[in-house]
A and B are shown apart, each in its own frame.
With several copies, the nearest count.
Chain A
Amino acid sequence: MMITKKNTGHIYTVSKLTREIKSLLEDTYPFVWVTGEISNFAVPASGHSYFTLKDHQAVISGVMFKNQKQRLKFRPENGMKIVGLARLSLYEPRGAYQLIFEHLEPEGTGSIQVAFEQLKKSLSAKGLFDDKHKKSIPFLSSGISVITSGTGAALRDIINVSRRRFSNCCLEIIPVKVQGKESENEICNAIFLANQLKSTDLIILARGGGSLEDLAAFNSEALAYAIFDSHIPVITGVGHETDYTIADFVADLRAPTPSAAAELAFPDKKNLMQRIFKLQENLNSALKNEIASLHKTVLSLNSRLKSPETIVYDFRFRLEDYESRLNNMMKHYIQYNKEKFNWLLQALQSGKPDKKILSNRQHIVSLLNLLTYNFQKRLQVIKTNHLELETKLKELNPEAVLKRGYSISRFVSNKKVVFDSNDVKLKDQIEVVLSKGQLITRVEKING
């Protein structure tokens, strides 16, 4: 039932594992009946008895402490077959487990009355001992009816054990006589009473040790049926005898002594609580482990969740590149167009018409000079022509004849030149034009 495998990958220390095995063993087998053959029997100075118990297949170490041994009615020795009630215990320093015996009795020995054997046989035949009729003992009983002598050591033992193992137990003691004539009846009635009251869920039927005669009530058929008919499970704890009583066979659980019965009836509270605490601890650590592991997973994912900052940086670089390319291209465009423009402007300037103006000006000035020159030349020719004519005219001036002594005669009256003397009459006034001056004359004679 305990956890034996851990797939959480947890690694045990030796001590821890051993401790867990110990509690596992001791919890699972608080008390066991075991049978086997004694060997290697030894009693060292301590007085405790050490031996191995074996059968044809296995061996197991056993010990019986001095106190328990004193109560035995026989001396155990090698080769002896025994039945014993023992706790299983693990000794941590050596990792060895052993059986610590509370009680030992020889197997198959003892003087048994024929009646006992007959009753046993008959009841067994009727099925009263059958395991299928055995009721389970409540793990944690709510109350226990203790049927025993009100004054005996058995009751004290039971109370002591119960106080030790389960301090807040509820005990309902039904005192009975455990030997003598009335004892059988009283015990049977006590069982009936417990079943009638139903205030408990377990019955301990106990008695201290005694002879077979003393135990007569426990070997009675009536008690056997009373136990068998009880709805409440019954644990027997009768005497220290090696022999079984009939009651032991019918009981749902048999303990060798009253205190052993109490031990079987009461779980060890401390142990149980530790077990629960342990489970709680396991529960806590399992959840904590899970949380821790999930925490780790989340953190690891978190660390892989890369911020998109680097993407942003990449894009920034790209944008810078684009922008600088844009700027460069734009500068290039402007530069290119400027150059083209400047080239054209230069071409335009070199085609500036001012040279043409200069040459035209020179051309006009030279034309003007030529015009003036030719005009002057022409004027000169005209002047010369006129002068020549005037000279010629002046040479032909009729007054030149007079300078050679000639004179011209004209009628004063009509200024007509006198060519013929016949035209003249006497006393006519004639003007004589000389080279220098004029004479006015009168005709005195005419020669014709």
Chain B
Amino acid sequence: MAKKKTFEAALKELEEIVKEMESGDLCLEDAVKKYESGMKQSRYCLDLLDKTERKISLLTKDHEGNIKEEPFKDE
């Protein structure tokens, strides 16, 4: 499922959530829900960034160094 959501979409969602929370009109339950959802988006984004960074690092190593590129099995 997560595969289908792009980083940009998740970031956008997170941004919306932060904005909504900062608008300050939420009741506690909604705030908690928004917060949870926001944290979820953020973690998702961070995961993607981590993955991306590892990939880049592999690509870069492969190019400059000696390590051969290994196909990313999850893609």
Contact = CB atoms under 8 A, between A and B. Distances in A.
A/B: CB atoms within 8 Å of each other: yes
B11 A284 contact: no
Name the residue in B11, B17, B39, B54 with the highest tally of chain A Cβ atoms < 10 Å from its Cβ.
B11
A415 B35 CA distance: 17
Which size bracket describes the interface of A in this complex?
35 or more
Contacts of A354: 53, 56
Interface in B13-36: 14-15, 17-19, 21-24, 26-29, 31-32, 34-35
A57 interface: no
B64 to A, nearest CB: 8
A7 B23 contact: yes
Interface string A294-315: 1101100110111111011001
Interface stretch (A92-100, A204-212, A392-400, A435-443): A392-400
A412 interface: no
A273 interface: yes
A283 B49 contact: no
A32 interface: no
B42 A393 contact: yes
A267 B68 CA distance: 29
Interface residues of B, number: 45
Contacts of B19: 3
Contact of B18 (A353, A374, A383): A374
A269 interface: yes
B8 A139 contact: yes
Name the residue in B8, B14, B34, B59 with the highest tally of chain A Cβ atoms < 10 Å from its Cβ.
B14
B14 A305 contact: yes
Contact of B29 (A159, A344, A367, A416): A416
B24 A301 contact: no
Given A353-B32, A374-B21, A393-B35, A168 B54 contact: yes
Given A352-B60, A371-B21, A396-B22, A308 B28 contact: yes
B56 A309 contact: yes
Contact of A175 (B39, B60, B69): B60
Interface stretch (A47-55, A105-113, A333-341): A333-341
A287 B49 contact: no
A295 B14 CA distance: 13
A348 interface: yes
Contact of B31 (A301, A308, A368): A308
A286 B20 CA distance: 9
A307 B63 CA distance: 12
A170 B14 CA distance: 26
A279 interface: yes
B59 A173 contact: yes
Contacts of B69: 172
B39 A368 contact: yes
Given A173-B57, A193-B59, A318-B11, A334 B22 contact: no
B24 to A, nearest CB: 6
A6 interface: yes
B45 A386 contact: yes
A406 to B, nearest CB: 10
A223 interface: no
9 contacts: A140-B49, A168-B54, A171-B56, A279-B42, A315-B45, A329-B35, A360-B49, A375-B56, A382-B7
Interface of B: 6-8, 11-12, 14-15, 17-19, 21-24, 26-29, 31-32, 34-35, 38-39, 42, 45-46, 48-50, 52-61, 63, 67, 69, 72, 74
5 closest residue pairs by CB, A with B: A351-B21, A286-B21, A374-B21, A396-B21, A329-B21
Given A290-B24, A306-B22, A389-B42, 9 more contacts: A170-B55, A301-B15, A308-B32, A308-B56, A316-B49, A319-B46, A352-B35, A368-B39, A377-B24
